[in-house]
């Protein structure tokens, strides 16, 4: 499984995953169609599936055009079937979604939105986390509760440390300032910030990050309890 990182809109990432053996592909969270079409054409492949982590426009904006062009099927969370444009296949919490070589566990991780899910490709250890877990940050709580978001984030801590995380936005540098402010003695964080800056200087994405890095450096994954997490989330909203 190859993962192509496709920058979209201002700071979004969509991801094209390719199964070379069966000549199949999926896109995760197409913000817009054009950059996805360009990537598909460059790789000489058609699009088979569109996987959406949640219903926000910057994650589903390309659904309609891509579906029309390629006949791709849209996969989304069952409770969001009215909000995800062009949805064809509904999935539930803890369901395994499987299509030839693509095999992902769907996990419901509410907080940013009530119907947010992630796609965990456990065979390859790749997880697509949308706007719930960012590198060195987490999503704003729009529809859920602090407690839901805290629980959703704790799910990630149980994954294998070498799991690759692909999230919905390039917010890493800004997030790192917040982490450093509240965790100034963290050596792992300082090392990670150097690597992040090197990547950005070369115009490269800071994705993927890993579960290990995030457990060591992400202040939201490092919060010990709900009270501490909630306080940090409020501070970050006004950072
Ligand atoms: Zn969102
Ligand atoms: Fe977003």
For domain 111-239, give the CATH superfamily.
Ribonuclease Z/Hydroxyacylglutathione hydrolase-like (3.60.15.10)
pTM above 0.85, yes or no: yes
Q: What's the pLDDT at 90?
A: 98
Quote the percentage of the chain above a pLDDT of 70: 100
Domain range summary for the chain, segments of one domain joined by +:
1-92, 111-239
Of the candidates 55, 108, 116, 169, the residue annotated as catalytic is 169
Query: In DSSP terms, which residues pair with 19 in a beta bridge?
Result: 24
Nearest ligand (C-alpha, residue 116) = 1
Please tell me the distance between residue 58's alpha carbon and the centre of ligand 2 in angstroms: 5
Nearest ligand (C-alpha, residue 142) = 1
Q: Are domains 1-92 and 111-239 of this chain identical in fold?
A: yes
H helix intervals, the chain: 34-42, 57-60, 63-70, 146-157, 172-182, 187-201, 211-217, 219-222, 226-237
Render pLDDT for 159-188 as a digit per residue (tens, 0 to 9): 999 999 999 999 999 999 999 999 999 999
Residues 6+ apart with CB under 8 A from 204: none
Please tell me the distance between residue 35's alpha carbon and the centre of ligand 2 in angstroms: 17
Please tell me the distance between residue 138's alpha carbon and the centre of ligand 2 in angstroms: 11
Q: What is the assigned CATH class of domain 1-92?
A: alpha beta
Q: What's the pLDDT at 59?
A: 98
Q: What's the pLDDT at 139?
A: 98
- 58: annotated active-site residue: yes
Residues of the chain whose pLDDT is less than 70?
none
Burial of residue 181 (CB within 10 Å: 0-12, 13-18, 19+) is exposed
């Amino acid at each position: 499984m190859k993962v192509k990182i496709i920058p979209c809109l201002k700071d979004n990432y969509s991801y094209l995953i390719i199964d070379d053996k069966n000549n199949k592909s999926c896109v995760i969270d197409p913000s817009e169609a054009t950059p996805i079409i360009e990537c598909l054409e460059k790789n000489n492949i058609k699009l088979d599936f569109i996987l959406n982590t949640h219903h926000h426009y910057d994650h589903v904006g390309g659904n309609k055009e891509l579906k029309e062009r390629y006949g791709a099927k849209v996969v989304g969370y069952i409770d969001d079937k009215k909000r995800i444009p062009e949805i064809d296949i509904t999935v539930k919490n803890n369901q395994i979604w499987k299509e030839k070589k693509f095999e992902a566990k769907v996990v419901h991780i509410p907080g940013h939105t009530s119907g947010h899910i992630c796609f965990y490709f456990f065979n390859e250890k790749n997880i697509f986390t949308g706007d719930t877990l960012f590198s060195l940050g987490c999503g704003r709580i729009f529809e859920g509760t602090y407690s839901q978001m805290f629980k959703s984030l704790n799910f990630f801590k149980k994954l294998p440390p070498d799991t690759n995380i692909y999230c919905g936005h390039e917010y890493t540098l800004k997030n790192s300032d917040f982490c450093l402010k509240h965790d100034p003695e963290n050596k792992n964080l300082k090392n990670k910030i150097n690597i992040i800056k090197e990547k950005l200087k070369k115009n490269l994405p800071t994705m993927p990050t890993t579960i290990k890095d995030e457990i060591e450096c992400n202040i939201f994954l490092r919060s010990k309890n709900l009270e501490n997490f909630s306080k940090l989330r409020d501070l970050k909203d006004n950072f």
